[in-house]
C-alpha cells in the first residue's frame, strides 16, 4: 500500500446516511457510539441474553452469531528468531532499507508470542466468541519443507487450548503472507512446486491441531500477494512483474485447492478461502465505464471466486491476459478441479469499493481513512455479501476482516478515544445485518484487528486495533471501540 494521505473521515455525513439506510434510527447510532464497558456477562455461555434482551438499536443478529476479531502471525507475534522459527519473505523485505515506513519490521511487533496469555484474557474480557489468527509457516517449517519444528507447533497448541479454555472458537488461517524465505529462494509462488509444499505444510498443521481447530482458512487475500507483492512491489517479495503476478495467482489458487484436499484426507473441520472482495462500480453511466468495471471486477473478485466456487477462471480475464500469458500457459489439466474442491465456507474481507472509469482507471467517491486506498462506504458491505450469495449460492459466509486505521493516541487519563472506529463498525455492521435480513447466510464477523500491529509497508504508523498497543512498554489498553464492541457482543446486536 502506498504512502498514506491523511484525511479527515467525514463522520457526520456518514452517520447521517447510515441512519437513513437503516431505517432512520439515529438513536441507535448515538447509543452505540456512547457504549459503555460495564455489566457484560460472558456471552459464550449466555444464550438467554440473546433471546431476551433486544439491542438498543433493534438490529439483532442470529442466535449464536460468531462475534470475533482477527490478527495475523507476522503482524503481532514478534519473536522472530525464537524457538527455531525460520526466516520469511517479510523478514527479508522489512529489513531491506526503504521498504517499510521508518524501517519498521515485525521482529518484535506486539510481542504476542510472549504475551499470548494476556491477549487471550483480553479476548475473554471482550466476550469474543471467535478468534481468527494465522499460523506462521516458517515457525512450523523453518526451511519451508522437511521435519516440523515442534516448538512452533507447541505455541499454536497453547494458543488454541487457551482459546477453548475461555470459550472462544479458534479460526486458523494457514498462510497470511509470511512465506518461508527458503521457498522464495526456490522460486516463491512463481514455482508450481511451492503450491505442493503448502499442501505438505497444511497437512502437518492439520495433524497437529485438527482436533482443536474447527475452522480453517487457506490463503489470506491471494489478490494482495498478486497485486502488492508482484504488480506494484510494495509488499514482499517486492516485484513489479505483471506476467509473473498472474502465474502467482494461479499457483495460490492451486495451493488453496491442494490444502482443501489435504484436510479432507487427514480429518475433520471446515475449510474455505479468505478473499478480500471489492465491489467494482462504474464511475459514470456510460457503457464504456460499465464494461471497464466488469473487467475490473474480473481481476478483483471473479478470478478468485469463480475458480474456487465455479471451477473456471473468468473468460474475460483470461482473454485479457492472453493465451500466451504465463498464467494461461501455467494452467494444467485437472488444476481447476483441484482448485474447486468443495469448500465449507467463504471468508469475506471487505474494506473498500472501487469506482472504475471508462478508460479503465479508478476514481474516488467517498472519504478515505488514514489508509488512502480505503474509501469508507458501508453499503459496499451489503453489496458484496448479497452479490456473493446471489452469484455463488447459499454457501456459509464469515466476515473475517473489516476495520480501519484511526489516529489513536493514549490520553493522560489512560483512555483511547477512537470514535471514528465505532462509527465505521456500527455502519458496516448495520449493512451486514441488512444482508442477513435479505437472506445472506452470514455466521460470524471479525473486526480487523484485535490489536494494533505491524501494518506491512506502513509499519506501526497506522493503528487498526480495538486494543491500543503502547509499543515501548507493550502495554495493552482497550480503546473506546473495544468497550463498545463488548456491548454489541453482549447484546448480540446494535
Ligand atoms: O493488515 C491487513 C491484513 O493483514 C490483511 N487485510 C488488510 C489489513 C489492513 O490493511
Q: Which of 72, 76, 399 to mutate to test the pocket of ligand 1 (most atoms within 8 A of CB)?
A: 72
Residue 27's pLDDT is what? 25
Cβ neighbour number for residue 34 with a 10 Å cutoff:
13
pLDDT in tens, the chain (494 residues): 222 222 222 222 222 222 222 222 222 222 222 222 222 222 233 333 344 467 888 999 999 999 999 999 999 999 999 999 999 999 999 999 999 999 999 999 999 999 999 999 999 999 999 999 999 999 999 999 999 999 999 999 999 999 999 999 999 999 999 999 999 999 999 999 999 999 999 999 999 999 999 999 999 999 999 999 999 999 999 999 999 999 999 999 999 999 999 999 998 899 999 999 999 999 999 999 999 999 999 999 999 999 999 999 999 999 999 999 999 999 999 999 999 999 999 999 999 999 999 999 999 999 999 999 999 999 999 999 999 999 999 999 999 999 999 999 999 999 999 999 999 999 999 999 999 999 999 999 999 999 999 999 999 999 999 999 999 999 999 999 999 999 999 999 99
| Sequence-separated (6 or more) residues with CB below 8 Å from residue 198 | 137, 174, 175, 255, 258, 259
Among protein residues, the one with the nearest Cα to ligand 1's atom 4 is 72
pLDDT at res. 54: 77
Output the pLDDT for position 468. Answer: 98
Cα→Cα distances 282→359, 385, 390, Å: 11, 19, 20
Contacts of 16 (CB under 8 A, 6+ apart): none
Please tell me the predicted confidence (pLDDT) of residue 13.
26
Ligand 1 centre to CA of 176 (Å) is 9
Tell me the CA–centroid distance for residue 455 and ligand 1, in Å. Answer: 7
| Atom of ligand 1 at shortest range from CA of 453 | 1
Rounded to an integer, what distance in angstroms lies between the CA atom of residue 286 and that of residue 288?
5
- Say which residue the cell 523485505 belongs to: 93
Beta bridge partners of residue 175, listed in sequence order? 219
Question: What secondary structure does DSSP assign to 327-371, as a single string?
Answer: HHHH--TTHHHHHTS--S-EEEE----EEE-TTS-EE--S-B-SS
What ligand 1 atom has the least distance to the C-alpha of 75?
4
CB atoms inside a 10 Å sphere around CB 326 = 18
Q: Whose CA is nearest to atom 9 of ligand 1?
A: 455
Ligand 1 atom nearest to 351, measured from its CA:
7
Residue 36 Cα to ligand 1 midpoint, Å, equals 28
* Main-chain phi, psi angles of 131, to 5 degrees: -130, 120
Sign of the alpha-carbon dihedral angle for 366, 369, 375, 376: negative
In CATH terms, is domain 3-491 a member of 3.20.20.80?
yes
Cβ neighbour number for residue 320 with a 10 Å cutoff = 13
> pTM of the predicted model, to two decimals?
0.90
- What is the position in ligand 1's atom list of the atom closest to the CA of 374? 10
Taking CA atoms, 172 is separated from 84, 135, 175, 183, in Å, by 21, 7, 9, 22
Cell triple for 235: 509488499
Q: How many A from CA of 452 to the centre of ligand 1?
A: 11
User: Closest residue (by CA) to atom 10 of ligand 1?
Assistant: 455
Residues classed as catalytic:
221, 401
Show the ligand 1 pocket: residues with CB < 6 angstroms: 72, 75, 221, 349, 401, 448, 455, 464
CA distances from 303 to 76, 252, 313, 339, 433 (A): 30, 11, 6, 12, 27
User: E strands along 278-390, which residues?
Assistant: 280-282, 346-349, 354-356, 362-363
Please give the number of the atom of ligand 1 that sits closest to the Cα of 449: 1
DSSP 8-class letter at 60: B
- pLDDT tens for 321-377 read 999 999 999 999 999 999 999 999 999 999 999 999 999 999 999 999 999 999 999
Q: Contact 158/116 with Cβ under 8 angstroms?
A: yes
Question: 335: CA distance to ligand 1 center in Å?
Answer: 28
Q: Calculate how far, in angstroms, residue 153's C-alpha sits from the geometric centre of ligand 1.
A: 24
What pLDDT is stored for residue 53 in this prediction? 60
Q: How far is the CA of 72 from the centre of ligand 1 (A)?
A: 9
Cell of 172: 486458523
Question: What phi and psi values does residue 218 have, to the nearest 5 degrees?
Answer: -80, -75
Question: How far apart (Å, rounded) are the C-alpha atoms in residues 221 and 244?
Answer: 17
Concatenated DSSP letters of 244-261: HHHHHHHHHHHHHHHHHH
Amino acid at each position: 500500500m502506498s504512502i498514506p494521505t491523511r484525511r479527515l473521515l467525514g463522520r457526520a455525513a456518514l452517520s447521517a446516511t447510515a441512519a437513513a439506510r437503516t431505517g432512520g434510527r439515529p438513536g441507535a447510532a448515538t447509543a452505540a457510539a456512547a457504549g459503555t464497558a460495564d455489566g457484560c456477562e460472558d456471552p459464550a455461555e449466555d444464550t438467554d441474553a440473546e433471546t431476551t434482551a433486544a439491542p438498543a438499536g433493534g438490529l439483532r443478529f442470529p442466535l449464536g452469531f460468531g462475534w470475533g476479531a482477527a490478527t495475523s502471525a507476522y503482524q503481532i507475534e514478534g519473536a522472530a528468531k525464537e524457538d527455531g522459527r525460520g526466516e520469511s519473505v517479510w523478514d527479508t523485505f522489512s529489513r531491506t532499507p526503504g521498504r517499510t515506513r521508518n524501517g519498521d519490521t515485525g521482529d518484535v511487533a506486539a510481542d504476542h508470542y510472549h504475551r499470548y496469555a494476556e491477549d487471550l484474557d483480553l479476548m475473554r474480557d471482550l466476550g469474543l466468541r471467535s478468534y481468527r489468527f494465522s499460523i506462521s509457516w516458517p515457525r512450523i517449517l523453518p526451511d519451508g519443507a522437511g521435519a516440523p519444528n515442534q516448538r512452533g507447533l507447541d505455541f499454536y497448541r497453547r494458543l488454541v487450548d487457551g482459546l477453548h479454555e475461555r470459550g472462544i472458537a479458534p479460526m486458523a488461517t494457514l498462510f497470511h503472507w509470511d512465506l518461508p524465505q527458503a521457498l522464495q529462494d526456490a522460486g516463491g509462488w512463481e514455482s508450481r512446486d511451492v503450491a505442493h509444499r503448502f499442501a505438505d505444510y497444511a497437512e502437518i498443521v492439520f495433524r497437529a491441531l485438527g482436533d482443536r481447530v474447527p475452522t480453517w482458512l487457506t490463503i489470506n487475500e491471494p489478490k494482495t500477494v498478486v497485486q502488492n507483492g508482484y504488480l506494484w512491489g510494495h509488499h514482499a517479495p517486492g516485484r513489479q512483474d505483471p506476467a509473473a503476478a498472474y502465474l502467482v495467482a494461479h499457483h495460490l489458487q492451486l495451493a488453496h485447492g491442494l490444502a482443501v484436499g489435504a484436510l479432507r484426507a487427514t480429518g475433520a473441520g471446515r475449510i474455505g478461502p479468505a478473499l478480500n472482495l471489492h465491489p467494482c462500480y462504474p464511475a459514470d453511466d456510460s457503457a464504456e465505464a460499465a464494461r471497464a468495471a466488469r473487467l475490473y471486477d474480473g481481476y478483483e473478485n471473479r478470478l478468485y471466486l469463480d475458480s474456487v466456487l465455479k471451477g473456471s477462471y473468468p473468460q474475460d480475464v483470461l482473454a485479457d491476459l492472453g493465451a500466451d500469458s504465463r498464467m494461461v500457459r501455467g494452467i494444467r489439466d485437472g488444476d481447476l478441479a483441484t482448485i474447486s474442491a468443495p469448500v465449507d465456507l467463504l471468508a469475506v474481507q471487505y474494506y473498500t469499493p472501487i469506482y472504475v472509469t471508462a478508460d479503465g482507471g479508478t476514481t474516488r467517491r467517498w472519504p478515505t481513512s488514514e489508509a488512502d486506498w480505503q474509501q469508507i462506504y458501508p453499503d459496499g458491505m451489503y453489496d458484496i455479501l448479497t452479490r456473493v450469495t446471489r452469484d455463488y449460492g447459499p454457501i456459509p459466509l464469515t466476515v473475517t476482516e473489516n476495520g480501519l486505521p484511526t489516529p489513536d493516541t493514549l490520553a493522560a487519563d489512560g483512555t483511547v478515544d477512537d470514535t471514528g472506529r465505532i462509527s465505521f463498525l456500527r455502519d458496516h455492521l448495520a449493512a451486514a445485518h441488512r444482508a442477513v435480513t435479505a437472506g445472506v447466510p452470514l455466521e460470524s464477523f471479525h473486526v480487523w484487528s484485535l490489536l494494533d500491529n505491524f501494518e506491512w509497508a506502513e509499519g506501526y504508523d497506522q493503528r487498526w486495533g480495538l486494543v491500543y498497543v503502547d509499543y515501548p512498554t507493550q502495554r495493552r489498553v482497550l480503546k473506546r471501540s473495544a468497550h463498545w464492541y463488548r456491548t454489541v457482543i453482549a447484546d448480540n446486536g446494535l
